[in-house]
Structure 1
Amino acid sequence: MKIFTTGETVVRRDVHRSGRVWSEQALRVVADTGEALVTACAPGAQARWPALYAKARDEGDRTVRIEAFEAMAAGEWELEPGVWQETELLLWKPPAAWFSVNAFFTAGGLRNWYVNFEHPTRRTETGFDTLDLTVDLVIDPDLSSWRWKDEDEYAHVRRLGIVTDTEHQAVDLARAQVLAMIEERTGPFADADRWAAWRWEPAWPAPRLS
């Protein structure tokens, strides 16, 4: 397995089962251990996103995201350049997990924890591949409460066949695993205060796609 060095630029790719890239995000490596690959990005980091996703964000119209999923199911989408905005992101990804734990930071500090449910990591020479499965968990900074997000989109991608029954079963198990991690303060939550104090390294330029 390729090991990445701290400060190195890597690319996270969301890859559809057809082999087509759904999105790309440039990140910098914070740490790479047997427990997890920890990466980060800051405003200005380069990305490529589906054009319909970009349109939904720019217009504030979530219904366009539904169009994007239908394009994914049909295998017909185009990517366009994007730039990460507004927040600093810290991403903790265990190698075999069906989720990643993310922390979003603003000028005021940690805004919230955010769990993406997604495919396990597949390492590449330039980073890692996964696939976001749409459903998410938003957690308060002090871990006192949480709420599920995008359950409606998750139901829709299941109807479209984007998420298979086998993947759904893996997500259900991952949901229980994440809730146990929060309750028991394990995984990144064992060091929640240390991660909450993290800040982007000022000497690092915003990461760029190769």
Structure 2
Amino acid sequence: MRDTIFGRAFTEWPQRVVVDRGDELRVLLTPGTEGVGPQLWIRSMREGDPGARGRLLEAYARREWEMGAWVWQRTTRLAIMYADRYFAIAPMWDEHGEFLWWYVNFQLPFTRTADGVDTSDLHLDLIVEPDLSYHWKDEDEYALAIRLGLVPEQWQRAIEGARDEALDLVTRRAGPFGEDWRAVPG
């Protein structure tokens, strides 16, 4: 799975396909998986540098970023991606297999390639707790991405609709929010 921007990858992660329904794809990412990502992001993860995220968005806007190796750590993530929705829903578990939360990543609908699938992270996230309470994450990053021209107006309109759609699923406990996630899928 790759995240791309301006036709260039900014993350690449090998993942195991758990379910492929054509327009819905479920892929599993487990601790220890080796992938690549932007060096500024890797540095922010290692050093806890909050300013690195803004510098990374600026690097994307300039189309100048360097990639580095990264090993996925601590959590197991099952990304439920859609070919027709501007978000993915990712149930996540800790290193002991305990369900943590759903991570709703706003992104482009996935497209299939010869090597796997491509999408693009749109810099806005929603964390939904097991009790279905929720909070928005990275709204400041999303606003900066808009200002830098990384999220065109057409995508912004789609994201507004996707925000409503995701919250509707949470409220109705529908889709992945109505499934039992106590155990990590095998």
User: Structure 1-normalised TM-score?
Assistant: 0.85
Q: CA deviation at 1:46?
A: 1.4
Q: CA deviation at 1:126?
A: 2.3
Is residue 102 of structure 2 the alignment partner of residue 127 of structure 1? no
Opposite residue 135 of structure 1, the aligned amino acid is L
CA RMSD in angstroms, aligned pairs only: 1.2
SS in 1 for 2:15: strand
Question: For the residues of structure 1 that align with 2:41 and 2:33, how far apart are their CA atoms?
Answer: 17
Percent identity between the aligned chains?
39
Q: CA deviation at 1:183?
A: 1.2
Is residue 40 of structure 2 the alignment partner of residue 52 of structure 1? yes
Is residue 91 of structure 2 the alignment partner of residue 103 of structure 1? yes
Q: Which has the higher contact order (CA 8 A, sep 6+)?
A: 1
Is residue 107 of structure 2 the alignment partner of residue 118 of structure 1? yes
Question: For the residues of structure 1 that align with 2:142 and 2:8, how far apart are their CA atoms?
Answer: 20
Of 43, 56, 69, the match for 1:81: 69
Moved more, 56-65 or 28-37: 28-37
Indicate the residue corresponding to 1:177 in structure 2: 165
Is the CA contact (8 Å cut-off) linking 1:88 and 1:200 kept in structure 2? no
Opposite residue 25 of structure 1, the aligned amino acid is W
Q: CA deviation at 1:33?
A: 1.1
Question: For the residues of structure 2 that align with 1:83 and 1:102, how far apart are their CA atoms?
Answer: 18
Question: For the residues of structure 1 that align with 2:139 and 2:87, how far apart are their CA atoms?
Answer: 15
Change (3 A) 1:190 1:34: farther
SS in 2 for 1:26: coil
Of 127, 130, 134, the match for 1:138: 127
**Residues 68-122 of structure 1 deviation map (CA, whole Å, 9 limit, x = unaligned):** 1100000001111111000111111121110000011011511111100000111
Of 8, 26, 30, the match for 1:42: 30
SS in 2 for 1:197: coil
Change (3 A) 1:123 1:35: closer
- Where does structure 1 lack aligned partners over 5 or more consecutive residues? 1-11, 202-210
Q: CA deviation at 1:34?
A: 3.9
How many residues align structurally? Answer: 185
**Residues 114-134 of structure 1 deviation map (CA, whole Å, 9 limit, x = unaligned):** 100000111112211000011
| Runs of 4+ that moved beyond 6 A | none
Question: For the residues of structure 2 that align with 1:47 and 1:121, how far apart are their CA atoms?
Answer: 19
Question: For the residues of structure 2 that align with 1:164 and 1:158, how far apart are their CA atoms?
Answer: 7
Indicate the residue corresponding to 1:197 in structure 2: 182
Of 55, 70, 89, the match for 2:58: 70
Question: For the residues of structure 2 that align with 1:166 and 1:67, how far apart are their CA atoms?
Answer: 24
Is the CA contact (8 Å cut-off) linking 2:97 and 2:184 kept in structure 1? no
Question: For the residues of structure 2 that align with 1:165 and 1:34, how far apart are their CA atoms?
Answer: 28
User: Structure 2-normalised TM-score?
Assistant: 0.95
Is the CA contact (8 Å cut-off) linking 1:42 and 1:200 kept in structure 2? no
